[in-house]
A and B are shown apart, each in its own frame.
Chain A
Amino acid sequence: MKNGCRSTTVVRETSFRQNDRDMREILATIASGKAQAVQVRYHCRYCLRIGVENGRVTQLTATDTSGVGIRVLQNGIWGFSTTSDASLENLKKTFTEAKQAALSAQGRQQEFLLAGEPVTANLTVQQTKPLSRISLEEKLSLVRKTEEKMRQLSSKIVSTAASYEELLDTKIIVTSSGANVSYQDTKADFRALAFASDGTRLEYGRMTLSATGGWEELFRHAKPESVPEEAVRRAVEKLTAEPVPAGLYTVVLHPSLVGILAHEAIGHTVEADFVLAGSIAGKFLQKKVAAEQVSIVDDPLPATDPAASGVLLVDDEGNRTRVAVIIENGYLRGYLHDSRTAWLFHAKNTGNARAFTYRDEPLIRMRNTYVLPGVEKPEEIIAGTPSGLYLKGLGQSGQADANAEFMFGVDQAWWIKDGKLARPVTGVTISGNAFEVLSSVDKVGCDFLLDSGAGYCGKHQPAKVDAGGPHLRCQVKVGGNL
């Protein structure tokens, strides 16, 4: 489990500001209210969005929201109430509403207790160059330059867009279980989108960077100048791509698609709330579900990339986050838990309870989900493939079901002929049963990349996640022409 260890490099203890201390005292007063358990979460978010399209600034918006979500547990039911007024007087009223909500459903629920390791700390993610110290003008200038550069790179480019988004979150979580934590989190995305046309068909290429942290973390994998070039290259190349015949193929998956497979097709099936609802993973615990070379974890703080988008230092129930081992050497070893399911399953709480805003109730969500690297060199995996497809990046979207059947659109695809990448192909979607596909894996690369951080996972509410792994070779069904 090379990547299973925790890193502390991005965790920084910070001193409380006075208003944070005041808020913590208010929340502690509420959390001490009479109930089986109380979770009080203050969440303040500043969101900045900048968008430039074809030479015009089309979006320059900021959103500043804050509020408190209060959960009260009473005999097996959570009452949840939220408010944007964080005064003590109003929070007492909100607490009463949450408690009354819980009491209104009494007598119909299976009771449970809460399992977890409450955190008492002041935490902040590392920002090598804090986003708040980069001026609005500088951010806008970079977005404009990126968009302008795309228009200059090829005569086939007919439309371009570039954008920047940052989320600056401050949370204070106080619970009756003993959590008392302040958490400063920042996440940012930088995107370029180019549309290319040859007069008869329209294609698009995109390039996105994403990070937890600051400006340097955002550009840790690529320099800003390379972003427009890559978006344009992808768009123009697709104009020459031809449809692929449908069928069962040997494919080499780039880490970006390996991550999607790990997240969408495996990760959702092992969320313990899905398991309780009947996910097929419920029948496979400790059973062999993948090839021996395959190990998958959900990691709150990957040592290999501590600026990954899904970094989570403490969960939204105030509990410690820990690595969740999902598949180890082909065997299904565990699920993703919050405090309730950890108690119900007699498992360790993995700290997967997340809420996107103060209005949202914490749900079991993934963080950074990835396949652990193997020993093969990626170029040798391709060289050892006589015929097949090389697939990279998620297309429009991906979905998976409780029975582990999945479907992903593929952004970029090429034929592999005689061990070499050949012509690009288009219109590729892959589908199948995730456990069957993972059982067909015969090569696992020694490389590693987390590469899906610009997207959001949707499960009643959004969540910033990341996913990835090494290159993999396996068999999948490809949807294409008849």
Chain B
Amino acid sequence: MNLESILTAIQGYGAQEAEVFRVDSCTKIVVFENNTLKSLHSASETTYRLRAIIENRMGCYTTNNEKLLLPCCHKVVEMAKASTPDPYAILPAGQPIKPVENLYDETEVKLTEVLKNGYRLVETFRKYDTRLSVDSAMLQVSWHHLNIVNSRGVKAQESRSCSRYFLMGLAAENTNVSSFDYRINAAVSWSKIVEKIEEDALSLARDICQSLAARTIPSFTGYLLLSPETVSDFISALEYLLYARNVQEKRSAFAGKINQPVASFSLTLSDEPLRPGLPWSASFDSEGVPTRSLTVIEKGVLLSYLYDTYAAARENASSTGHAGGKMYSPVLKPNSSLKEMYRNISRGLLVRRFSGNISPVNGVVSGVAKGGWYIENGQLLHPVSQTMITGNFFQMLKNIVAVSEETEPTFSGYLPYLQINDVDILGFQEKP
């Protein structure tokens, strides 16, 4: 069935408005566990998400079974009828969408090619040092074709491809076992990801081996230097605070703070979904609303929330193309080199991975620094163990002193290092 005929079918069951979102996916994955190849996986699937509105009541139904599509057209209408009226339950109107360039790599990649490069990833890592061990690794290439239409004129399609890997390892020397650490990388193009494999595997191997000699430190208040992966935890907390639905439901501390300072002058945060050639980019969201560049915090001042169609309707505003409330490709404006940041740290802690909680509700930040390094007078002195970080997220935002020019790939896109002042760092070293 083509999408228009599915729309017609939903409306035929009584829906006043309807939407069909189809995603065709094809994926090839190799998985390694405990240093050896575990499996090779190929998958293909088509899913349909249907939405129907009757008298301001919305229902949603998803299926991957084409044979069930017609019954599902009926079921989604029944779901809508069972709901309660909500004047903001609307579908977006159609808008022109400018395609983002280079989001799709047509290159055919065979499973044997994925396998060969999976071995490269794992073997490069392991050959660095006999103490190293791969906990798990994954190399994946996927292609997605997205099509969305609705009864209000939305009609959009885009093809996206993503090649990515994940490598998690540890080191062991007698009973001295390091923390887990990992690297990820992602690219639209297969060839671009392949060329990064050795560099990332070696860098992870070095970091893990160094963390074996970790020592406890005494407690102090000082600078925190967050790695890009740790910054992505901060970004997740910010996304919660910025999502307009959370603001409207009075569960975000950023409610009522537009044009007010929420962070230090050093923080300028924007979302850049239109940058060509990045796997996090997209020209429209899952409602078919065009995405756009959006500065949410500038020099510490809150400028905008993230809106989907529902949240926008509640304020008679426009959706920013953020269905789901997540940013595509967060960008933090740099104001320092990493070298300069180190130089300015008299006493501090580099945190590569944060095993803890950052509560965007009450602001409590508490957890363990993993792969952490003690810094004194600008020098990385030694890795640390049993070290916790504690503080308040809202205060930490105000204590950001520097954002690095250097960025690294993370689950949330390319992110920089952040330097934060006046953070309580808890060591469990016995006092002499």
Residues of A within 8 A of B (CB): 53-54, 56-67, 71, 77-84, 97-98, 100-102, 104-105, 108-110, 136-137, 140, 144, 158-159, 161, 195, 197, 201-204, 238, 246, 248, 273-274, 276-280, 283, 359, 361, 395-397, 399, 401-403, 405, 407, 409, 426-429, 431, 460, 477, 479-482
Interface segment out of the listed B92-100, B147-155, B318-326, B360-368:
B360-368
**Are B83 and A60 touching (Cβ within 8 A)?**
yes
Contacting residues, chain A, for B135 (C-beta < 8 A): 274, 277-278, 402
- In the complex, which of the residues A60, A82, A110, A397 contacts B82, with contact meaning CB atoms closer than 8 Å? A60
**Are B72 and A64 touching (Cβ within 8 A)?**
yes
Contacting residues, chain B, for A71 (C-beta < 8 A): 39
Residues of B within 8 A of A (CB): 31, 33-47, 58-65, 68, 72, 75, 79-80, 82-84, 86, 111-112, 115, 119, 133-136, 138, 170, 172, 175, 177-180, 219, 221, 249-251, 253, 310, 355-359, 361-362, 364, 366-368, 370, 386, 388-390, 424, 426, 428
**Are B41 and A277 touching (Cβ within 8 A)?**
no
Contacting residues, chain A, for B36 (C-beta < 8 A): 109-110
- In the complex, which of the residues B38, B250, B356 contacts A409, with contact meaning CB atoms closer than 8 Å? B356
Nearest B residue (CB) for A81: B42
Given A159-B250, A276-B34, A277-B34, are A82 and B86 neighbors across the interface (CB < 8 Å)? no
* Bound complex: CA A321 to CA B172 (Å): 32
**Are A429 and B37 touching (Cβ within 8 A)?**
no
6 residue pairs from A and B, CB less than 8 Å apart? A60-B83, A63-B62, A65-B64, A359-B45, A401-B179, A428-B366
**Are B63 and A63 touching (Cβ within 8 A)?**
yes
Contacting residues, chain A, for B362 (C-beta < 8 A): 201-204, 238, 426-427
**Are A407 and B355 touching (Cβ within 8 A)?**
yes
Contacting residues, chain A, for B366 (C-beta < 8 A): 409, 427-429, 479-480
**Are B364 and A426 touching (Cβ within 8 A)?**
yes
Name 10 extra pairs, CB < 8 A, besides A60-B59, A197-B250, A482-B426.
A54-B250, A65-B47, A65-B65, A78-B38, A101-B41, A104-B111, A204-B361, A238-B362, A428-B366, A480-B366
Say how far B45's CB is from chain A's closest CB, in angstroms.
Answer: 5
* Bound complex: CA A53 to CA B424 (Å): 36
* Bound complex: CA A395 to CA B357 (Å): 8
Contacting residues, chain A, for B83 (C-beta < 8 A): 57, 60, 140
**Are B40 and A104 touching (Cβ within 8 A)?**
yes
Say how far B246's CB is from chain A's closest CB, in angstroms.
Answer: 9
* Bound complex: CA A427 to CA B364 (Å): 6
User: Would you list the 6 A-B pairs with minimal beta carbon distance, nearest first?
Assistant: A276-B34, A101-B40, A396-B357, A277-B34, A403-B177, A61-B60
**Are B61 and A62 touching (Cβ within 8 A)?**
yes
Contacting residues, chain A, for B45 (C-beta < 8 A): 67, 82-84, 359
Contacting residues, chain B, for A57 (C-beta < 8 A): 83-84, 86
Contacting residues, chain B, for A396 (C-beta < 8 A): 357-359
**Are A137 and B82 touching (Cβ within 8 A)?**
yes
Given A401-B370, A405-B179, are A277 and B35 neighbors across the interface (CB < 8 Å)? yes
